[in-house]
Structure 1
């Protein structure tokens, strides 16, 4: 099943790419949608068969590949990876279904390549999420960068070459650092292979663990990205077309946070506590910096891009605290942030398509029911509320769990994070006040109507944001067993807390 999730999109991309003759963009899109739809059905079956009470890996596959290198084809899924796989499947469908941001492509024939690259991105991300061999993870981690680079450099804005090259260089450095750490931990631990289960059993000196953990933190910190390793993000997100920005913000950065939890916390649980205080400070800096940088922006897409830096800081804070509630909140924040950011980028793309600008000083009155974009504006308001952590929406659930779980461990960074959440509300009030409200120009404001098909992806994402906010157990139940087991492995004293937080009564309170 897990192999099917990886290789079905690859097979679909090959068929679309090598289909004889000229293939129209619409047919290529329908073919890619069909492949992604089948993968989504497999994902749903996986959710239905997944046992939420089991902390160990499920649906495991293992085959020897290059034994001399310790590289095996070892796959598995648990409560940490399954929600992110589902998010990847959903956003892939959104990107393939939507035409927002692609209407201005000069050569429509190149859209065939676009759909091929999106399928390859899906395969690479899912492959990394299910890989249980360190070298296999890194292989997928690096391979998905190639289609992302091409997606930015071909379908990006005026500075797309600069943004794509910056993305490539930063992520290549990330891969080199992680590769060095993976090779060292495998060799020094004396493990028979680079399988995750084998290396976890290896014993290293605390000094060696600290050096290797630092390498991984910097490597995954670039991907997340964390301040001051973030400078590639604004350029890549802003210059990318709307569908590519959705993929970058929704799933690309999640490989960094996933790697942080899976490998940094999972492989070095004892050493993690030594660096956790410093990481909590970095997390609060990311949150405050991201919010202040967003407030200063005039381009609404760049504003949303900077907001992503702050929201990734919440994940780091929850992981640093390493309490049962904080870890559940950190993983929930990955899913929450992916949904909310994808919705915001999508709506910004619709506004740019219909109005022709993203500048705050130009936009106004879009909530006008007759000549504006009322539905898009209403959804933008809801997306801003979700990002600001308003109760009843999924953003509140994740942030509340992180704050509640981290306050006892790191009270000051948590209070700074709460203040950052308030600043999030400030910049979204600025955005919404200037774009949605005010008076339309009577001479120029006759915008094209947003069709039902253009609204559909945004409505689906909004419904999920609302539903998971009202019924958070639908998200938490997948995450909790794996997250709490990671906490128990890192802190034996937390086992009692884990047992309490894993009880049905506590889960219901989520």
Structure 2
């Protein structure tokens, strides 16, 4: 097991935490631009540190690396235990990158910046801590930590129904946390483990019936977070009411805590029970993909359409995870990264359209691709985003979805074919959006649109560029995960059929 020469993983957590503290201590009269610039500097440092971790990471070593262990509450079995492997590393980088993007996309005129920016940094630290935690109880603490700032970010800076959306999010996520805690406590107590340190061998000490109950708790807990149908109803409301930067973080990063948990605490921790439930999970994936896609077609609000598309695309991750082969888990990681980048781009662009036109209604807007009086660059980037989401070759969305279908078809042919229908439906609803909003004749009431500043263009351009680069060089996306994934699914592969 590789050990850290420097506590880089802890540094990655403490940089945003100390940054949040420092921003909260600035004089109350400081300009919003000052808060945003300082917060962006903090996140740029965190991003550089995460890239340095990637530079030190050995992709050929399947064991946890850069491990940090500090005894904490030993009677409870809680230790401050952090590590990184090929599953958590890509998501760690994604978290820091998208947090920086969200900060750059935040208006300098945002009210109460002294509270807003520390909450964003606290949210980043909580998510990073969850990806790095190598102790079940420590993971739960970080998992719950991100709940508080995200609730406040929706409740304070959201839309007209922000209180309802934030409360609904809080209730659903709190239930998710309770279920996860029950699953973790049951595993450790029934296995008579000396601590909550992550150990893939724990479930082998339990009968299959106990494994199935505990895995069921964990599946529902993470199913709420992802979210999967029928636990999805909090997501569209949260997205519609959240501000654009918070929607970027919610779709791009927060949902990945659920899919990460499926792999880490489902496949890796309960391989025998996972094999038993896998056919049902693949069917659950089909339901989420088709329901999310059909609901997206029915929407007239651009933001709600993108929100429902997230439900469908997260179903692809469940299909790949249910298959539980080395290639399918690689595909799941690729889809997590792909969806994070694409959904962030789409929400940013919808936010710009709403800011400039005052509407997100696809039945009202049209002609925005007009090269002289419309939003031609925003329209062009939107076309890039919907093509990537629809799986057009040459973009990162195609790579992820092709890997999922290729790896899942031999095990679940019917479910895979039905999920492929979801890809076709993605093209349908996003073509409806682009055709109605960006093509046609620009109405007179939209002729004098405010210009789009470079500050609004830059985050979207960065995301679109990365989507294209990773589509052309997909090995950059999965290079870090090959060895980790092979070890992770070994237990599933060596089990006899249920």
Shorter-chain TM-score above 0.5: yes
SS at match of 1:197: coil
Contact kept? 1:192, 1:198, Cα under 8 Å: no
Provide the rounded CA distance (Å) in 2 between the counterparts of 1:197 and 1:267: 7
Provide the rounded CA distance (Å) in 1 between the counterparts of 2:145 and 2:321: 27
Provide the rounded CA distance (Å) in 2 between the counterparts of 1:388 and 1:486: 30
Question: What is the number of residues matched between the two proteins?
Answer: 489
> Cα–Cα, structure 1 residues 233 and 366, in superposed 2: closer, same or farther, change >3 Å?
same
Query: What is the aligned partner in structure 2 of residue 73 from structure 1?
Result: 80
Match of 2:404 among 385, 402, 405: 402
1:341 paired with 2:368, answer no
Say what the alpha-carbon RMSD is for the aligned residues.
Answer: 1.3
Deviations along 1:433-480, whole A, 9 cap, x unmatched? 001100012354211111122111101100110011110000111122
Query: What is the aligned partner in structure 1 of residue 3 from structure 2?
Result: none
Provide the rounded CA distance (Å) in 2 between the counterparts of 1:200 and 1:30: 46
SS at match of 2:151: helix
Query: What is the aligned partner in structure 2 of residue 4 from structure 1?
Result: 11
Match of 1:173 among 172, 175, 183: 175
Contact kept? 2:186, 2:214, Cα under 8 Å: yes
SS at match of 1:60: strand
Provide the rounded CA distance (Å) in 2 between the counterparts of 1:298 and 1:46: 43
Query: What is the aligned partner in structure 2 of residue 498 from structure 1?
Result: none
- Unaligned segments of structure 2, at least 5 residues: 1-7
> Cα–Cα, structure 1 residues 352 and 21, in superposed 2: closer, same or farther, change >3 Å?
closer
Query: What is the aligned partner in structure 2 of residue 294 from structure 1?
Result: 296
Query: What is the aligned partner in structure 1 of residue 158 from structure 2?
Result: 156
| CA displacement at 1:211 relative to structure 2 | 0.2
1:482 paired with 2:498, answer no
Provide the rounded CA distance (Å) in 2 between the counterparts of 1:150 and 1:176: 20
Contact kept? 1:29, 1:112, Cα under 8 Å: no
SS at match of 2:128: helix
Query: What is the aligned partner in structure 1 of residue 280 from structure 2?
Result: 278
Contact kept? 1:124, 1:141, Cα under 8 Å: yes
> Cα–Cα, structure 1 residues 208 and 23, in superposed 2: closer, same or farther, change >3 Å?
same
Match of 1:324 among 311, 326, 347: 326
Deviations along 1:207-240, whole A, 9 cap, x unmatched? 1000000000000000000000101011001110
SS at match of 1:353: helix
Query: What is the aligned partner in structure 2 of residue 472 from structure 1?
Result: 474
Match of 2:354 among 352, 355, 367: 352
Contact kept? 1:190, 1:202, Cα under 8 Å: no
Query: What is the aligned partner in structure 2 of residue 137 from structure 1?
Result: 139
SS at match of 2:362: coil
Deviations along 1:328-362, whole A, 9 cap, x unmatched? 10111011101000000000000000111000011
1:262 paired with 2:269, answer no
| CA displacement at 1:188 relative to structure 2 | 1.0
Match of 1:24 among 27, 31, 43: 31
Provide the rounded CA distance (Å) in 1 between the counterparts of 2:96 and 2:68: 21
How does the TM-score come out when normalised to structure 2?
A: 0.96
| CA displacement at 1:85 relative to structure 2 | 0.6
SS at match of 2:68: strand
Contact kept? 1:225, 1:309, Cα under 8 Å: yes
Provide the rounded CA distance (Å) in 1 between the counterparts of 2:218 and 2:411: 23
Deviations along 1:254-308, whole A, 9 cap, x unmatched? 1000111100111101110100000000101111111100000000000000000
SS at match of 1:196: coil
SS at match of 1:478: coil
Write out aligned runs for 1:35-434 (5 A).
Answer: 35-99=42-106, 105=110, 108=111, 110-197=112-199, 200=202, 203-434=205-436
Contact kept? 1:329, 1:399, Cα under 8 Å: yes
Provide the rounded CA distance (Å) in 2 between the counterparts of 1:257 and 1:236: 19
- Unaligned segments of structure 1, at least 5 residues: 495-510
